Structure 1
Amino acid sequence: MSFESAIAASASGLHAQSLRMRVIAENLANADSVARTPGGAPYRRRVATFAPKLDRATGAMTVAVRSIIGDPGAFERSYDPGNPAADAAGYVLRPNVNSLIESADMKAAQRSYEANLNAIEAARGMTMRTIDLIR
């Protein structure tokens, strides 16, 4: 694998994991958001999906963001008749965001981001050692 293809693959991974962390942060920020209207739908958890992509310039397999989709999971219902978002029966729909799952996903995304940084550093180090051997 050439230096350019190694960097391209790791850079695409950095971009993908950065986007994933932003989506997770948005989910965590909206974990307690309810609808603005009575009986309305609250915030729906979002998930980034990825797909492999061939970088024709370098020949490297990279990762691309396929889409950011809403999680089809059910909303939690809680009885809170005093809440402005409550329906006629007094129930409020809560977002389908589980803070524990989001925290675990954030940790995994951080680890993947760090792994891509380490791969870039390793490629740079090998290139520098090769240049030193040529001198």
Structure 2
Amino acid sequence: MSDFSNALSVSASGLKAQAQRLVHVSENIANADTPGYRRKTVSFETAFAGSEGTGAVEVSRVNLDRRELQKIYDPSHPLADETGHYQGSTVDLMIEIADAREAQRSYEANLKMFDQVRQMSAGLMDLLRR
């Protein structure tokens, strides 16, 4: 049964990691028009149990996009300088939409894996009861 629980924990860690990724993508989309906002990205790393890797993943620290902020010309904006420019954000909505779709599909794949392991475990229990 430890293989089943290991498979469940691996898929659960994937679900958790992709959910966290979707949180940051949604924050980026919500702040796309916020002046001075820097895009947040997350990366994943292998989770270790003791001294060995289990195949599970976890979210490492959140990184901010260090690209130069885009300059937007709008002399009527309250943050505009004497030339009429203000600093926009580093969020590109096309990239965020692509990241959201990728995270969603990865989440769904982990969910299907979780469900398959659960069904296999239930099937094994039914066989053992006979």
Verify same fold: TM over 0.5. Answer: yes
SS of alignment partner, residue 49 of structure 1:
strand
Identity level (%): 40
SS of alignment partner, residue 6 of structure 2:
helix
The aligned residue for residue 23 of structure 1 is 24
Confirm whether residue 49 of structure 1 aligns to residue 43 of structure 2: yes
Q: Is the helix fraction higher in 1 or 2? A: 2
Cα distance in 2, alignment partners of residues 102 and 10 from structure 1: 24
| RMSD of aligned alpha carbons | 1.6
Query: Could you report, residue by residue, the CA deviation over 1:78-107 in whole angstroms, capped at 9, with x for unpaired residues?
Result: 211111111222111110101111001000
Cα distance in 1, alignment partners of residues 56 and 87 from structure 2: 39
Cα distance in 2, alignment partners of residues 81 and 112 from structure 1: 43
Q: How many residues align?
A: 127
Q: List alignment gaps of at least 5 residues for structure 2.
A: none
| Equivalent position amino acid for 2:76 in 1 | G
| Equivalent position amino acid for 1:110 in 2 | Q
Which consecutive aligned stretches of 4+ in structure 1 deviate over 4 angstroms post-superposition? Answer: none
SS of alignment partner, residue 2 of structure 1:
helix
Cα distance in 2, alignment partners of residues 91 and 25 from structure 1: 27
Give the alignment's TM-score, normalised by structure 2: 0.91
Q: List alignment gaps of at least 5 residues for structure 1.
A: 35-41
Query: Could you report, residue by residue, the CA deviation over 1:54-77 in whole angstroms, capped at 9, with x for unpaired residues?
Result: 234xx7221111111101122211
Cα distance in 2, alignment partners of residues 7 and 100 from structure 1: 33
